[in-house]
Amino acid sequence: MLSRICWILCQEAKVGVIMEERTGGNEYREQRLENLERLKALGYAPYGRAFPRTGRLADVRAGFEEGKQVTVAGRLVACRDMGKSIFAHIYDGTDRFQVYVQKNKIGEDAFAAFKILDLGDFIGLEGELFTTRTEEQTLKVSRFELLSKSLLPLPEKWHGLQDVETRYRQRYLDLVANHDVRELFNKRIAMLREIRTFLFGRGFQEVETPMLQAMAGGAAATPFKTHYNALGCDMFMRIAPELYLKRLLVGGFDKVFELNRNFRNEGLSRTHNPEFTMLEIYEAFGDVNSMKELVQSLITHVAQTVFGTLVIGEGERRIDLTPPWRTVAYRDLIVEKAGDDWYGLDLDAARARATSLGVEVDPAWDLGELTHELYEKTIEKTLINPTFVTRFPVELVPLASACVDDPTVVDVFELEIGGCEVAPAYTELNDPLEQRRRFEEQAAGDASKMDEDFLMALEHGMPPAGGMGIGIDRLMIILSGAESIRDVILFPHLKPKTAPAGGE
RNA sequence: GGAGGCGUAGCUCAGUUGGCAGAGCAGCGGACUCUUAAUCCGCGGGUCCAGGGUUCGACCCCCUGCGCCUCUACCA
């Protein structure tokens, strides 16, 4: 109990220090604390209880009728005091709504109390709807309650909150100050809902598989490591749900998807956040072609229902999502860029050709690696309209089946939109012996990297299947026209401002 | 990890060959019962990111560190 109290005191001290850092002193807070006491003295409890509303502000606006009695609640975001009457705006996340407070309507005491309110305070109001001379729908207030006193000031009303660091670190301020940010996240939420609706409509079932794994497989990324105290062993955050979803195919699920977070121990960038949302879909008895049809329908459905258009952006960044989408083989793209004779060149000639095309060449690379560098550096970013790139070299994709007509390439596509890889899909490898061979090649003799448990599952028989992963954050960037992944994730990762314990 | 840019009031931003630190909004006091970036009168507000150095004097020049942004690297 004592330690609990100490902990609380310690936390409060910390908050105090942070508060001082962020507010540059307590002047504003002191004033608001004084206002809190004054309101209390007038009988307004600073932190109220439930307040039944007629509806959200957007609902009230939609159902506006002259003279209608309503109750509403929201945050006070603007206040124009005219002596014996006040015009103010409240905001509740759905809309801004004007309220009109007159001294002789709500009474002298309540009017005096209203004048003590600070911008940012949550209030509940009751009154009658009317339209002002300038034709703004407004609430004539007959009574108000204080619901929550705000002790720290909000960002400025006109310019909003611009500082990108503050916008990411204190997203709640961004959401209050910049309504378009709220709308963008509403769209993200709507997109996730539409994806689920679409997949449910096609008979897929949503499942949940472990995020905490003894072995992080299904992709080639570095995992986050953590420790499980009760079992005394290290665990990893998953880098992909793939190997568990395939176990479900073995178990008889035939159409499953998982829409949730993956964690990869990589750097931060405009297109990388260490935890990101991935949609993985598996369809038994399907293949890469059924995935192609699925993703094309899924993305056009989302674009149409959530964003209301199949054409995004303008000029060079214009993306046209109208199906059918182009399909092109990896090899054809390479030859188109590097010349018909590329695959016949010896290594030195290929290096020279790549250099002349602007690729920085690592002398350790073989022709395959050099080719892929060429693809990533000069071709991928030019694929603006949706493009299915197919028939990748087998060494790039260890979990996919080979093409029937050519065992050196695999039956996959990578969907590129806006020069960005959005969705890879495979005809999944279900041959356990071939899978073991490829794992062995990858693990290079390190037995601890062999996922024997997964191989055992495969040996019980996995139906042929199509599988696909869609990077939801990147899809959101493309559909919304956002600049950065940090703009489409509510709380993107930034370096901690004060170093956490246990750093290097 | 490497290169470049940025960091000034609660917010948005000016600023100085190196010579007392500025505006708008927000805040405080006052006037105003149809305003909406309300208006009018008056007032307060600063660790100029942090720490060193050069200088009579540094917000400004130099060095180091921290954070953010962009590019790059890592990343199926």
State pLDDT tens for residues A288-304: 999 999 999 999 999 99
Separation between Cα atoms, residue A262 and residue A276, nearest integer Å: 6
Q: What is the pLDDT of residue A361?
A: 83
Is the predicted pLDDT of residue A504 greater than 60, yes or no? no
- Mean pLDDT estimate for chain A: 89
One-letter amino acid of A354: A
Q: Is the CB of A365 under 7 A from strand B?
A: no
Going by pLDDT thresholds of 50, 70 and 90, the confidence category of residue A498 is: low
CA A483, C1' B17: Å apart? 40
Q: What is the pLDDT of residue A20?
A: 44
Separation between Cα atoms, residue A32 and residue A24, nearest integer Å: 15
State pLDDT tens for residues A456-488: 999 999 999 999 999 999 999 999 999 899 999
Q: What percentage of chain A reaches a pLDDT higher than 70?
A: 93
Average pLDDT over residues A32-51: 93
The ipTM is: 0.90
Secondary structure element (H or E) that encloses residue A333, with its range: helix A330-338
Separation between Cα atoms, residue A386 and residue A417, nearest integer Å: 5
CA A357, C1' B26: Å apart? 55
CA A171, C1' B69: Å apart? 17
Q: What is the pLDDT of residue A230?
A: 94
Q: Is the CB of A28 under 7 A from strand B?
A: yes
Going by pLDDT thresholds of 50, 70 and 90, the confidence category of residue A3 is: very low
R_g of chain A, CA atoms, integer Å: 29
Neighbours of A440 (CB within 10 A): 14
Average pLDDT over residues A371-383: 89
Average pLDDT over residues A353-377: 86
Q: What is the pLDDT of residue A48?
A: 87
Q: What is the pLDDT of residue A366?
A: 86
Chain centroid to CA A97: 29
State pLDDT tens for residues A205-225: 999 999 999 999 888 888 999
Q: What is the pLDDT of residue A364?
A: 82
Which of A422, A189, A411, A207 minimizes the C-alpha distance to A299? A422
Q: What is the pLDDT of residue A1?
A: 35
CA A119, C1' B28: Å apart? 15
Is the predicted pLDDT of residue A2 greater than 50, yes or no? no
Q: Is the CB of A133 under 7 A from strand B?
A: yes
Alpha-carbon distance values, A295 to A156, A196, A250, A471, A474 (Å)? 43, 13, 23, 12, 14
Strand B contact nucleotides, protein CB < 7 Å: 1, 9-13, 24-28, 31-39, 44-47, 66-76
State pLDDT tens for residues A238-276: 999 999 999 999 999 999 999 999 999 988 889 999 999
Is the predicted pLDDT of residue A4 greater than 50, yes or no? no
State pLDDT tens for residues A389-433: 999 998 888 788 999 999 999 999 999 999 888 999 999 999 999
Q: What is the pLDDT of residue A398?
A: 78
Q: Beta-strand (E) ranges in A285-318?
A: 311-312
Q: What is the pLDDT of residue A315?
A: 79
Q: Is the CB of A102 under 7 A from strand B?
A: yes
Q: What is the pLDDT of residue A201?
A: 97
Helix (H, G, I), strand (E, B) or coil at A406: strand
Can you tell me which residue has its alpha carbon closest to the C1' of nucleotide B37? A158
- Only one residue has tokens 């005809």, namely A427
**A48 vs A431, residue with greater confidence:** A431
